[in-house]
Amino acid sequence: MTNRFKTFSGLFVTALVAGALVAPAQAQYRQKISNNPAACAAGAGPAVRVTVTGIKESTGTMRVQSYRGTAQDWLEKGRWINRIEAPARAGSMTFCMPVPAPGTYGIAVRHDINGNGKTDIFADGGAMSNNPSLNIFNLGKPSYKKVAFQVGTGVEAITIQMRYR
């Protein structure tokens, strides 16, 4: 093997490894996952056990999405990390939301009551981590600072109260 080939091979392998290290961060957006309670078992993590209360009806779909707790990512289109969708069940439901690493996150929940995949502001319910007040007449989103919370290496438990118009 010539020195030139060895150098080229070494650079190629370094580039592949560097690419592999970058790719997971980019791939961490828009992951549709199933609700897996085992990911929130003792010793698991990092993850968030999200208990959603006040679910109005057992119709339609519940959607729980995690975001990084930053101004650049919070509720920005396509910037959600993980999404869990499940048939709605009146009362309360618990979801296990894994996160990529310890850090600051926010959770958004939507109850699509008629299951049409669209946001119907007069029927659907919504909620966010830390339960910020939502002004139904001001359709702006609350600041990421109001919804952000820390997740360490284990499982963080939060409760989110659904709100309907």
pTM above 0.75, yes or no: yes
For position 19, what pLDDT does the model report? 39
Contacts of residue 43, defined as CB under 8 A and 6 or more positions apart, other chains included, come to 154
For position 139, what pLDDT does the model report? 59
- Give me the average pLDDT of each 10-residue run along the chain (165 residues): 45 37 57 96 96 98 97 95 98 98 97 94 93 69 94 98 93
For position 136, what pLDDT does the model report? 52
Cα distances (Å, whole numbers) of residue 69 to 8, 15, 18, 136, 160: 41, 31, 26, 23, 16
For position 10, what pLDDT does the model report? 44
For position 21, what pLDDT does the model report? 39
For position 42, what pLDDT does the model report? 92
Chain centroid offset of residue 73 CA? 11
